Amino acid sequence: MSQRTARVERNTLETQITVSVNLDGTGQCKLDTGVPFLEHMIDQVARHGLIDIEIVAKGDLHIDDHHTVEDTGITLGQALAQAWGDKKGVRRYGHAYVPLDEALSRVVVDLSGRPGLVMDVEYTRAMIGGFDVDLFGEFFQGLVNHAMITLHIDNLKGKNAHHQAETIFKAFGRALRMAVERDDRMAGVMPSTKGSL
């Protein structure tokens, strides 16, 4: 059984980022981005997706978190795309509903080969601690564009912005886990009538 792992380095004048992933991991996560709340959220993806994720990011945080968050999404997307390769034998689609107290989110993913993000989330406040919630959109847009996936994110209920965000990232991890799982009935088969994704 082939290893579904990848390591990607991305260096710009704004950020220097290295991401390693193992799709068949145990949910281990090592993060050093300088953006603590982003790390808390990515840890949820690893834990609930059973994907090992390691990220080291150095960015222009003296300006703000924007470039680091967006470029982390881009680089993680590139690593995921490399790790799942041609996608033969995977389930392709994944979905999850995740609650946290009063909050509830639904995430649906398709390893379609076409980038698309639909995000219906109205956070109850603009900041979670020192983190600007607008940056979640930037993170997922970067990830989607470079992983080449279709991703629908809906926060269905929630009054606490931290809970809203956490349900989204947990549900994303669960949906991604389902989509990348090997399907014994599809072994070696492309999950598309087109013959490629």
Which pLDDT band holds residue 195 (cuts at 50, 70, 90)? confident
Task: Write down the pTM of the prediction.
Answer: 0.97
- What confidence tens digit (pLDDT) does each residue in 55-73 have? 999 999 999 999 999 999 9
Which pLDDT band holds residue 155 (cuts at 50, 70, 90)? very high
Tokens of 86: 């041609």
CA-based nearest residue to 76, from 3, 131, 21, 15: 21
Average pLDDT of span 6-34: 98
The alpha helices in the chain, defined as continuous H runs, are 36-49, 66-84, 134-147, 161-180
CA-to-CA distance for 107 and 170, rounded, in angstroms?
9
CA-to-CA distance for 60 and 148, rounded, in angstroms?
27
Burial category of 79 from C-beta neighbours within 10 Å (exposed 0-12, middle 13-18, buried 19 and up): buried
CA-based nearest residue to 162, from 124, 114, 195: 124
**DSSP string over 55-78:** EEEEE-TTT-SHHHHHHHHHHHHH
- What confidence tens digit (pLDDT) does each residue in 73-108 have? 999 999 999 999 999 999 999 999 999 999 999 999
Q: Is a pLDDT exceeding 80 seen at residue 170?
A: yes
Instruction: Provide the mean pLDDT of the chain.
Output: 97
Which pLDDT band holds residue 188 (cuts at 50, 70, 90)? confident
Sheet with 52-59: strands ordered across? 5-11, 15-22, 52-59, 29-32
Average pLDDT of span 33-39: 98
